Amino acid sequence: MARLWGRSRAQSAPTSAGRRPRSRPAEEPDRQPDRQGGRPPWRRRLRPLLSVRSAAGQVFVLQVVIVLLLVVVGAVALVLQSRADAAQDARDRSVAVAQTFASAPGVAQGLRSRDPTAALQPSAEMARKLAGVDFVTVASTQGIRYTHPVHSRIGQRLIGTIGPALRGHTVVQTVNGALGRLVQAVVPVRDGRGRVIGLVVAGITVKNIRSPVDRQLPLLIGSAAAALALATAGTALISSRLRRQTHGLGPAEMTRMYEHHDAVLHAVREGVLIVGGDGRLLLANDEARRLLDLPPDAEGRQVTDLGLEPRTAELLASGRVATDEVIPAGDRLLAVNNRPTDRNGGPPGSVATLRDSTELRALSGRAEGARERLRLLYDASVDIGTTLDVVRTAEELARVAVPRFADLVNVDLVEAVLSGEEPRGGTRPEMRRVAVHSASGENPLYLIGDVIRYIPESPQAAAFASGRAVLEPDLRDCAGWRAQHPANTDAALAAGLHSLITAPLLARGVLLGSVHFYRWERPGPFEEDDLSLAEELAARAAVCIDNARRYTREHAVAVTLQRSLLPRSLPEQNALDVAYRYLPAHAGVGGDWFDVIPLPGARVALVVGDVVGHGLHAAATMGRLRTAVHNFSALDLPPDELLGHLDELVARIDQDERSGEGDTAVTGASCLYAIYDPVSGGCTLARAGHPLPALVRPDGTVSFPELPPGPPLGLGGMPFETAELYLPEGSRLVLYTDGLVETRSRDIDIGLDLLRGTLARTAERTPEEICTAVLDALLPEDPGDDIALLVARTRTLPADRVADWEVPSDPAAVARVRAAVTEKLAEWGLDEVAFTTELVLSELITNAIRHATGPIRVRLIRDRSLICEVADTSSTSPHLRYAATTDEGGRGIFLVAQFAERWGTRYTADGKVIWAEQPLSGPG
């Protein structure tokens, strides 16, 4: 402040007494308390001298850079030259040692001796130590070492090139050897006739090559340190003299300091006044002139002559201390702080600061409003879009804006958005009201579910067409809004609705709908500042609504795909009474599936499976696995073999997916496969990482039969095992996926206990009723996974519908079997198929007698079709073919295929069964 006062006095000299500002003695700073702790005085004085902001400091930096540059250049040149000399010395020494040792007496004789290593190793080691090299190695012409400092390397092949040495040349090379990176010389050893009979290799490792630079670097560094010391001393001397002359500041620094002070003084939003000890105004910044309405020539005049308010003039002229004292100044209230300037030996006078408390209150109100808007936007980002449901997201937008921003909020969406589709172009699409929220609970306008088409004159249509929010501060003057629906709008105005902001819901360039904010209970209308807040709320909600719309579309596509891949109806069969339920997850379609597959011999296969994950990929993988199960079932494979083939298929699918560009590989799948035989009442089951089935006996007891555990599909490496169960007629077999018994909030053991209790209470009900009861008891409110449920009640074929015969391996027995079959068909009232059945059985039995050994068994089953089965101990399956004209055989299976509706082969543990089915035209 003393310096600013001096400048103001100098500028106003013509109107003042012409006094000069007092300056403090140059020695006064040295009398200030020491703030640097215990640092020596010479260090405190030297530090500002060497500052780069002073001229001396800049000269010092230049000298340091020159000295360092010279030192670095000299060191680099010295290192490079020294390394080159050292490397050449290493090559020369290696060649000399190798040539000397190769020509030494006894080396040639040692190479011809029975044990070259014993003969040459001692002398090679002695030569190495005397010559000061790291190794001397003798090797054969094949490059096999006879000697080496490291004994484990003897007998190994030399490293490097030996071809030129074998031709009589000396080779010098740098290689990576057993001792590290080294320079070596390879010299041939000749016999008396000049033939090369061996090699001598001598070398030095690179790390042991000593360089003269190691001795010269200390001298170089010492010289550099001395030069820096001299430069520092000279700079300190020059800087000390400059500091005494300029008080530590150069002309540029002093000018810049005054310019900065002046710029800050006139830029602050606070008035500053400096009054001299004689009551004259020495300085006033721009803000003080504005607040006090000072005349242009105010500086240099007495403050009492400036036309100020009496209290203001008295305070400034008196120079008394004041802290936030409020004084009037026209229509303003100023907060004044006043302090004297003559403290610590300063010039007499005072300095005052002024703040406009009226503007501060307005600014505080605007800041509070801005904070409230930011808080509302933050809450909106948290509360809007908590789910992927379009309507619920719109409701969240309406709730977050009431009552903090509006008293009534309506949200309208284009019809296509509700179904997940992207809206088509158009400025007046049909909209449906999906959300309404009011602070009072009343809504005088359209109700939820109403279909609306806004007229072009309405502000809603204008906002939707322009893509920008529209403000209507007074709805009584808005003819377009009132013309939209006169009965509703008149009632709304009568109820107190008075202001509107309507904003389009625009996301990713697509108009999804609009949101309407109404003021109702609060008297103040919307203002221009509220438009940006409304647009920001609408923009954030629009992105969430568009995300929900896209999810709705993807979910609908996935559900459609999944339902197209699941069975639409169950096949007709007599073995089981089956009911099922399938419920997709709310979060996304999964890969659960089920199937009921009729098999030969009146048997039925039950399948339940689950692909890990959700979405289109999981549904598509489920379809592939279901198709594969159908194909494998057509081969009539036992459950364990079928799961083995399915495991290989999943592994191949996984491998193909991972090798492609996508990252949608199958991460796991489970499956339970069961085959029920109504003739025997037996059920064969196998599982691959799937939950155990539930079994309800006819007496109502519920159990979870222990099946051999199998790994999930796709892991491979482990075989699958089967379990055999006997199911009395009327038993209930319940198959399900883990989504039924396990949720995020319920452990699987608790789910299994609930399932057991529910099945025990519904043991006497039908499968359909059991499905309904199970879902009522176990279905979570928000399923996070798909649920597949399959309930099958067993039936058995009566004994009078099955007939079997043992057939000896004798062609004469075929006639007796045909007669017995004809008699049984007559007993069943199936005389019309007797001829065809005799023909089929004759061909099958004759084929078994001719090509198989051991006992032959014939069985007839009367179900929805007539099933003929011939079992033998052979594992060879007949094949359908065309017989040539001259062939004596090969027509039997062809005839069977022509007369039977279906035929095939089923392998058993004892052989195979060839079966054929014929439709029944009579009563079944």
Q: Which residue has the higher pLDDT, 126 or 663?
A: 126
337-346: pLDDT as tens digits: 988 888 776 7
Strand (E) or helix (H) holding 77: helix 55-103
Instruction: Note the pLDDT of residue 608.
Output: 96
Q: How confident is the model at residue 237 (pLDDT cuts 50, 70, 90)?
A: confident
Ranges of CATH 3.30.450.40 domains, the chain: 392-556
CATH class label, 392-556? alpha beta
Q: CB count, 10 Å around CB of 107?
A: 21
Residue-averaged pLDDT of the chain: 82
567-576: pLDDT as tens digits: 878 888 989 9
Structure tokens at 195: 């033939």
Q: How confident is the model at residue 921 (pLDDT cuts 50, 70, 90)?
A: low
Q: What is the mean pLDDT of residues 308-322?
A: 86
Q: Judge whether 737 and 580 are in contact, CB under 8 Å.
A: no
Q: Is it the case that residue 290 has pLDDT exceeding 80?
A: yes
364-417: pLDDT as tens digits: 666 777 788 888 889 898 999 888 889 999 999 999 999 899 999 999 999 989
Instruction: Note the pLDDT of residue 786.
Output: 85
Instruction: Note the pLDDT of residue 102.
Output: 81
Q: Is it the case that residue 580 has pLDDT exceeding 90?
A: yes
Q: Is 323 exposed, middle or buried (0-12, 13-18, 19+ CB in 10 A)?
A: exposed
Q: What is the mean pLDDT of residues 465-486?
A: 89
Q: Global pTM? A: 0.53
Instruction: Note the pLDDT of residue 151.
Output: 83
Q: Which residue has the higher pLDDT, 62 or 417?
A: 417
Q: How confident is the model at residue 757 (pLDDT cuts 50, 70, 90)?
A: very high
- Fill in the amino acid letter for 101: F
Distances (CA, A) of 196 to 111, 112, 522: 11, 12, 112
Q: Is it the case that residue 700 has pLDDT exceeding 80?
A: yes
Helix (H/G/I), strand (E/B), else coil: 191:
coil
662-679: pLDDT as tens digits: 555 556 799 999 999 999
Superfamily holding 271-363: PAS domain (3.30.450.20)
Instruction: Note the pLDDT of residue 428.
Output: 73
Instruction: Note the pLDDT of residue 539.
Output: 93
Instruction: Note the pLDDT of residue 890.
Output: 58
Q: How confident is the model at residue 24 (pLDDT cuts 50, 70, 90)?
A: very low
- Which CATH number describes the domain made up of 567-794? 3.60.40.10
Residue with tokens 């061996």: 198
Q: What is the mean pLDDT of residues 58-78?
A: 75
Domain covering 83-213, topology: Beta-Lactamase (3.30.450)
CA 308 to CA 294: how far, in whole Å? 8
Q: Which residue has the higher pLDDT, 72 or 864?
A: 864
Q: What is the mean pLDDT of residues 699-723?
A: 90
Helix (H/G/I), strand (E/B), else coil: 370:
helix
Q: Is it the case that residue 701 has pLDDT exceeding 60?
A: yes
Instruction: Note the pLDDT of residue 28.
Output: 40
The DSSP bridge partners found for residue 869 are 859, 915
Q: What is the mean pLDDT of residues 810-839?
A: 87
Ranges of CATH 3.30.450.20 domains, the chain: 83-213, 271-363
Q: CB count, 10 Å around CB of 16?
A: 17
Q: Is it the case that residue 806 has pLDDT exceeding 50?
A: yes
Ranges of CATH 3.30.565.10 domains, the chain: 800-919
130-166: pLDDT as tens digits: 888 888 889 888 888 889 888 888 888 888 888 888 8
Q: Is it the case that residue 25 has pLDDT exceeding 50?
A: no
Residue with tokens 């009431």: 402
Instruction: Note the pLDDT of residue 543.
Output: 94
> Of 855, 897, 892, 893, nearest to 872 (Cα)?
855
Q: How confident is the model at residue 13 (pLDDT cuts 50, 70, 90)?
A: very low
Helix (H/G/I), strand (E/B), else coil: 506:
strand
Share of the chain above pLDDT 90, in %: 25
Instruction: Note the pLDDT of residue 644.
Output: 93
493-523: pLDDT as tens digits: 888 888 999 999 999 888 999 999 999 888 8
Ranges of CATH 3.60.40.10 domains, the chain: 567-794
Q: Which residue has the higher pLDDT, 451 or 5?
A: 451
Instruction: Note the pLDDT of residue 242.
Output: 65
Instruction: Note the pLDDT of residue 35.
Output: 43
Centroid of chain to Cα 227: 59
Domain covering 800-919, topology: Heat Shock Protein 90 (3.30.565)
* Segments of 776-893 assigned E as strands: 787-794, 802-807, 856-862, 865-872
- Which residues contact residue 924 at a Cβ distance below 8 angstroms, ignoring those fewer than 6 apart? 862, 863, 864
